[in-house]
Structure 1
Amino acid sequence: MWGSWSGYSEWVVLARLCQLNDSLYASPAFALRPSPTWTFIGFEEALHQIPQQRWIQRFADGRPFVLQSSDVATQLAAARAGIGVAILPCFLADRDTALARIELDDEPIARDIWMSVHADVRRSPAVRVTMDHLIDLLGHELG
């Protein structure tokens, strides 16, 4: 899907690559614990404004955070190790057999991932092939 971004339509063309979804994950053993006893893995204080952290803080509803990190790989490793529940990108965590997705009524976060290209080069064959490849690859992989 190609379109112009209002305000920059003369200069920038946008293409939606995919939708990136996050959900809650824990080790299978941890996920079997009663939910009132769960502890959480989140983002460090400097990142408390990002949607994922705001969402998991609301979900935790006062239950403790035992690890805070700016690195998703660290959060994933901590969840795998049974330290707590983390909000992770589904494209990473769904494939990990050491993690179990926590069943929710709704997915916590879904956001579109966009690619921008200067309008002057969007019809260049090399740029177009690269853009189409990324759209196809990420659309199938993450979308």
Structure 2
Amino acid sequence: MPDLSDLALFQLVATSSSLTNAAQKADVPLPTMSRRMAHLERSTGRRLFLRGKGGFQLTKDGQSLADELTGLPELQNRITRWLSKTEHTPVVRITAGLWTSQFLAQSLPAIAPQTWVPSFVPSNAQLDIARREADIGIRNSEPDHPWLARQKLRNITYAIYAKSDAVSGFVSLPGHMPLPPSQAWLHREFSSKIALTATDMRLCLDLARSGHGRIVLPCFIGARDEFLTQLSDPIEDLTHDEWLVSHHDTRHDPPIRAALSALKTALLSTR
């Protein structure tokens, strides 16, 4: 069964002078438009276009489909009106590491618009945005998938923090657990000085706040903590860029676009 959104894009192609013009009207990247039209042909089992030097021309089946879609704009308008009358607010699923998720959970309510609500999927695993396991991801490295849109946000630094009267050892995750880069660095560089462990980084933070030891934190978390003082320069081995990632096909949807803007504003405010 053809996707309704693909049919709407097809109608734009059918009524435009070129695929490029249709892509511009839809505010969709040209490669995405071409890919969506190829998907529509596969889903219908019909050849809808003649592709050549003259661009995309409708075949007989393509013209027949275009005729059948004459009432589609009015249907879309009716659906839009129906949606506007409901109280449902679109949910945007956001995945990020623990500290970024914590910061956003504290910062977004003051700036998030009412056209969307966040649903946090805190995870250090890179959920597959291409398979729609999440709508937006905040990543520690640039994605290599061409169908993912990306924006480089900021440079993330880490440092050692502690309460002023803390003991000299470190608080850390135990070494037998899968370790994020900051904890792996700590075990590699200061394994003999790890005095206390906990299986949750939030517990590690609470222990450090109570003076049970030092902790390695991203500076955007440590600098905001009223109980902790930065004891080291930024750790070069842990410094990395941060990327805001979404799917090319959904990044222009109003809720996703609004969420991307709000996330960017919140995250860049920590620099």
CA contact (8 A) 1:18 1:135 kept: no
Distance across 2 between alignment mates of 1:40 and 1:76: 11
Q: Say whether residues 1:47 and 2:178 are aligned partners.
A: yes
Deviation of the 1:19 alpha carbon: 3.3
Higher strand share: 1
| Alpha-carbon distance change, 61 to 126 in structure 1, aligned in 2, over 3 angstroms | closer
* Closer, same or farther: CA 42–108 of 1 in aligned 2, 3 Å: farther
Match of 1:22 in 2: 158
Aligned AA (1:13): A
Structure showing the higher helix proportion among its residues: 2
- Please give the per-residue CA displacement for 1:38-86, whole angstroms capped at 9, x wherever unaligned: 21111122134x32122212432622x2222242221111111111111
Unaligned regions of 5+ residues in structure 2, if any?
1-141
Cα shift at 1:107:
4.9
Instruction: With a CA cutoff of 8 Å and minimum separation of 6, indicate the structure with the bigger relative contact order.
Output: 1
Q: 1:66 aligns with which of 195, 220, 225?
A: 195
Distance 2:235 2:221 in 1: 19
What's the TM-score, normalizing by structure 2? 0.42
List gaps (5 residues or longer) in structure 1.
Answer: none
Give yes or no for contact 1:16–1:114 (8 Å, CA) kept in 2.
yes
Larger Rg: 2
The total of aligned residue pairs comes to: 129
Label 1:130 to 1:79 Cα distance change in 2 as closer, same or farther (>3 A).
same
Please tell me the residue identity of whatever aligns with 2:152.
Answer: R
Residues 75-99 of structure 1, C-alpha deviations (whole Å, 9 max, x = no match):
1111111111111222222222321
Tell me by how many angstroms 1:106 deviates.
4.2
Q: CA RMSD, aligned part only?
A: 2.5
CA gap of 1:17–1:70, structure 2 versus 1, over 3 A, is: farther
Q: Following the alignment from structure 1 to structure 2, what is the Cα–Cα distance between the partners of residues 117 and 95?
A: 28
Mapping of residues 34-113 of structure 1, within 5 Å: 38-44=168-174, 45-48=176-179, 50-60=180-190, 62-63=192-193, 65-104=194-233, 106-107=235-236, 109-113=238-242
Residue deviations 1:16-41, cap 9 Å, x none?
233332211111023xx7xxxx2111
What's 2:265 paired with? Answer: 136
TM-score for the superposition, normalised by structure 1 = 0.73
Query: Contact 1:41–1:85 at 8 Å: present in 2 too?
Result: yes
With 75-84 and 99-108 compared, the bigger mean Cα shift is at: 99-108
CA deviations 1:108-132 (Å, max 9, x no partner) are 5223332321111223343223212
